[in-house]
Amino acid sequence: GHVVRNWKVRWFVLLQDKLLYYKTEGGKKEPFPKGRILLDGCTITCPCLEYENRPLLIKLKTKTNTDYFLECCSREERDSWALDITGAIHAGHPVQVQELHRMKNSFKLLENISLHHIVERMCDSSTGIKLTRNLKQGNRYKETFTGSALVDWLISNSFAVSRFEAVTLASMLMEENFIKPVGARSTEATRYGDLSEQFLDDSTALYMFAESGNKSISSKEELQFNISELSGTILKQGFLVKQGHKRKNWKVRRFVLRADPAFLHYYDPTKEENRPVGGFSLRGCLVSALEDNGVPAVVKGNVQGNLFKIITKNDIHYYIQASSKAERAQWIEAIKPLT
C-alpha cells in the first residue's frame, strides 16, 4: 500500500502497456480495477531484496518515480511475472524482447569473473548476503544462508542474469571451497556427479561460508597475509593436473613452489589475473608418490598415472598428476625439504 504500508492480496492483469490490479471478494475479482501501473518508462528490479523477510518481491519504478512492491507466491511465479512484465515494458523494441528470452535459459557468465571479489561482496556487513541462525533439520547452525537466497543475491548484484547462471556460479564457489553445504538437504546433493546438480536453488538447502571465506579481516590485513605467503623465493613452477575437492574432476593448474615461507600455490591458467586460486603451507605436510596399483578409491575420473599425494597438517588431501614419472620425482624431491 502507498498510504498504509501494509500488504494486500490483489488480482493482477498484465496488458501490453499497463498492469491492472483488482480487489477480490470471495475469491473473485471485482469488475473494475482498483488501480493501474503504466509500464511506459518503467524499470523493474527482480529479485528485489529491499525487504529482508520477503524474498519473492518484484519492484516496479514508474517514470514518475513511484515505487510498487509486488510479492509473489513462489520463485517460479515471481520470475515468470518479471519476464512477462519486462517483455511488456520493451514491447516496442522486439530485438530487446528476443534478447530477453534468449538470456532466460542461456549460460554466459561474466568474463574474468573473480570468485574472491564475489566472496568479499558476500561478506560485506551492509550489502552482503544476510546470515541467519538455523535450527532446522535436527541441528543448530550459525550464520547460514539458503541456496535460493544466494541465487537471488547473485542476480540482484549483477553477477548473473538468470537463475541458471547463478546456480552455476554458486556451484563454482562451492567447488573452490568458498562456501560449503550444511544439513542433510544440501549435503546430500553433493553426491551427484554433475556439478550443476550439486548446488540447490532451494529455500530448504542450507549453506555457509567455508572457514577460509568467513574470516573477518580488513583488506589491509588480507593484503599483508597474501604478500607474506607470496613473498618466498620461487624454487620451482610448472603445469600439473589437480583433482578438485568437491567435484572430483581434474583441472590443469600452474603450480608455484616457494620457500621462506614454504608454500605451494596453484593458479588457473585461463585467467589473466596473477592471483592464486588456492594454496597451502608445506610445514607439517606429507608428500608421496602413488603407483597405479595403489590409487585410493577417492581418486576419480581420468587418472593417467604419475600421481602423487600431499597431505597437509590439517589432514587435507591433494591429489596431483605430473606428465611423467621423472617430473613427479622432481616435484616430490623439491617439496620434501620444505615440509
**Each residue's pLDDT tens digit, 297-306:** 556 666 667 8
Domain containing residue 297: CATH number = 2.30.29.30
CA distances in angstroms from 331 to 15, 243, 285, listed in the order given:
67, 17, 14
| Residue 216 forms part of a structural domain | no
Residues 21 and 49 in one domain: yes
Residues 246 and 160 in one domain: no
- Residue 141 has a pLDDT of 66
Residues 202 and 255 in one domain: no
Domain that holds residue 316: 227-336
| Residue 218 forms part of a structural domain | no
* 0.75 exceeded by pTM: no
| Residue 77 forms part of a structural domain | yes
| Mean pLDDT of successive 10-residue stretches along the chain, which has 339 residues | 85 91 84 90 85 83 92 83 86 57 48 74 86 62 85 88 82 83 80 64 86 42 56 90 78 90 88 79 91 60 78 86 91 95
| Residue 220 forms part of a structural domain | no
Q: Single out the residue in 65, 81, 104 at which a domain terminates.
A: 104
pLDDT tens by residue, 208-232: 988 643 443 344 434 444 666 788 8
Residues 66 and 158 in one domain: no
CA distances in angstroms from 198 to 74, 96, 180, listed in the order given:
22, 33, 11
If one counts the domains in the chain, the total is 3
* Residue 100, φ and ψ in degrees, nearest 5: -60, -45
